[in-house]
Amino acid sequence: MYTINSAGWLNPAAKHPSPNFNDRPVLGDISLLVIHNISLPAGQFGGRHVHELFTNCLDCNTHPSFDDLQGLKVSSHLFIDRRGGVSQFVSFADRAWHAGVSQFAGRENCNDFSIGIELEGCDDIPYTYAQYRELIALSHTLRRAYPAITPERIVGHNDIAPGRKTDPGAAFDWTYYKNALE
């Protein structure tokens, strides 16, 4: 069972505060949940590289594919690893930098009004049961805390940045996930 404290931090998630956030333009405006995927290096799971990226500690010399991450400042509110471990990088009260150039329902800058959840994975490898279990539990908790997040306002990164992003990808079972939210 998850709870959210008055400062916007999830209990009992592991906390890894990121410097990559800023104030939301309107605090009470949280109305979108965005599902992403990430793996560093691409297709490799485990390790600390995602945590290091979100906290600006990634040594971009450790893998050739990290070259284009040099100086990148990104974050997400939550990260769910393959075992179902949940880490939080940014308070829900703050704007994490997960969506980039984006729009939903005619509104741009989805970071302003969304919560971002990163699943450790890639577009074409099935996610684990443990990840779905935690994502479903987290989604219920977030929807209770932020009732404007309706099932129709739970989307993939690909939905808010079409042509630029593809995650969470074809391997994500939207039917299973959305049915579990009913």
CA pseudo-torsion sign 76, 80, 81, 82: negative
Q: In this structure, what are the phi and psi dihedrals at residue 179, rounded to the nearest 5 degrees? A: -65, -35
Q: So where are the chain's domains?
A: 15-37+75-181
Give the C-alpha separation, 81 to 46, whole Å.
8
Give the pLDDT of the chain (182 residues) as one tens digit per residue: 899 999 999 999 999 999 999 999 987 899 999 999 999 999 999 999 999 999 999 999 999 999 999 999 999 999 999 999 999 999 999 999 999 999 999 999 999 999 999 999 999 999 999 999 999 999 999 999 999 999 999 999 999 999 999 999 999 999 999 999 98
Give this prediction's pTM. 0.97
Domain 15-37+75-181: which topology? Answer: Lysozyme-like (3.40.80)
CA gyration radius, the chain: 15
Is 134 in the active site?
A: no
Longest dimension (CA), the chain: 45
| Inter-CA distances, 141 with 23, 41, 135, 147, Å | 22, 31, 10, 10
Catalytically annotated residue among 52, 108, 118, 134: 118
